[in-house]
Structure 1
Amino acid sequence: MKKILVGFVLSLSLLSFTSTSEAASSYTVQSGDTLWKIGMRYGVSVEDLQQLNNHYSSQLNIGDTLTIPSTISASEKDLLARLVQAEAVGEPYAGKVAVATVVLNRVDNSKFPNNIKDVIYEKSAGYYAFTPVKNGQINQPASVSAKKAVSEALAFRGMGSGSLYFYNPKTAQSAWIKSRPVTIKIGNHTFTR
């Protein structure tokens, strides 16, 4: 009896996981939707939505079904949001989005690890790439704003200026980081390639 009950519960769990996964794989366009809003909702890039659906105009038709591309896992989103929270606390919202974008750009760049966790925890010459990993701030919960910034960075993925680094000019001591081409300045951070 116990084995039957465990099997039943496991079957229900798998069924509910499958249903959730399938529900996220397509979306029916509603009134007021834009590719940007759909990208934000599902944490996928607008560019990926367009490519997967062969939809290169900004016009959507109500009732159309879009296939939603795969996205990063919930644990990766949480880790990235915690990094954004720690690195960009006190920074404007655009700065939070830009910090998340740097991590995603690194994942997409062959010079860096190809997943979020390895990019965030990367260590080179004995130094962590991100200070919050070293000082433990990465372990603090993310704010709603940091989580939203991650969703926006995911929707924005592939459309920015290719920032791979950022630093605070008031505290950075590395001549190398200051020699990188600047892509944008937001709040107290300078973003570079």
Structure 2
Amino acid sequence: MKNTYMEKLVVACVATFAFIGLQINTVEAKTENPVVKEANLLELGQQYGLTFDNIKQVNNRHANGVFLEELGQIPDKPKVLGIQSSEPQIETPDKELEKPAVLISNEEKDLFARLVEAEAKGESYEGKVAVATVVLNRVDSPHFPNTVTDVIKQVVGKSYAFSPVQNGQISKPASDESKRAVDEALTRHDRLNDSIYFYNPKIATDHWIRTRQVVKTIGAHVFAK
């Protein structure tokens, strides 16, 4: 009689500890009901490729509920008790902004953008980038000054090389598009076939400029070298 009582006591203790262990392992599930219904499995199945029928078939069950511990018994599937995958999560780094190939000061960049705005106002973004590229090509050329500022303020004969410097239009602020055009030109991806001149054929009065080799026409401007 005493042995039967002790056996029952041991069985009860084992069941109690097993129940406590189950509660600890499934604490992240935060559910008061140890059975997951079919509606709950729909979301889990979409995430891990599980279906209600798959789980019942593997566990040889026919009822409309599945015990939580059975969810971890599906072979080749991540455990879903914690609703987490064991596979490491790989973070995709944000795309880094492209660094310019030519570095200039903020003051010089502002002057540069104001020139582009004055020379290419009303032109497309591509046209603004092309005007900025001509300035940088001149900096690279042995026939022009060695800095952006000196190229912009270069004096040819009795006037400035760029009319906006001559007439004061360069003092007006640059648009955001002109600033972006300068930033793109500074990457030096497209050197516009080393063009060092641009002009508007409708208003240009200099015959010599028309003798230069034409590289490209963008909007109202012809680019040449």
Shorter-chain TM-score bucket reads 0.5 to 0.7
Alignment correspondent of 2:4 = none
Deviations 1:127-166 (A, max 9, x none): 2110100110000000000000000000125743101010
Alignment correspondent of 2:103 = 71
Q: Decide whether the 8 Å contact of 2:216 with 2:223 is kept in 1.
A: yes
Alignment partners' CA distance in 2, 1:108 and 1:135: 26
Alignment correspondent of 2:212 = 180
Residue 103 (str. 1) matches residue 135 (str. 2): yes
Deviations 1:64-111 (A, max 9, x none): xxxxxx711101110000000000000011010000001011011110
Partner AA of 2:218 in structure 1: I
Alignment correspondent of 1:170 = 202
- Aligned Cα RMSD in Å? 1.7
Alignment partners' CA distance in 2, 1:158 and 1:119: 19
- Give structure 2 stretches of 5+ with no counterpart: 1-91
Alignment partners' CA distance in 1, 2:218 and 2:152: 21
Partner AA of 2:200 in structure 1: N
Partner AA of 2:182 in structure 1: V
Alignment correspondent of 2:98 = 38
Could you tell me the percent identity over the aligned residues? 52
What SS class does the counterpart of residue 145 from structure 2 fall into? coil
TM-score (structure 1 length as normaliser): 0.66
Alignment correspondent of 2:173 = 141
- Give structure 1 stretches of 5+ with no counterpart: 1-28, 46-69
Larger relative contact order, structure 1 or 2 (CA cutoff 8 Å, min sep 6): 1
Alignment partners' CA distance in 2, 1:157 and 1:112: 21
Q: Decide whether the 8 Å contact of 1:168 with 1:190 is kept in 2.
A: yes
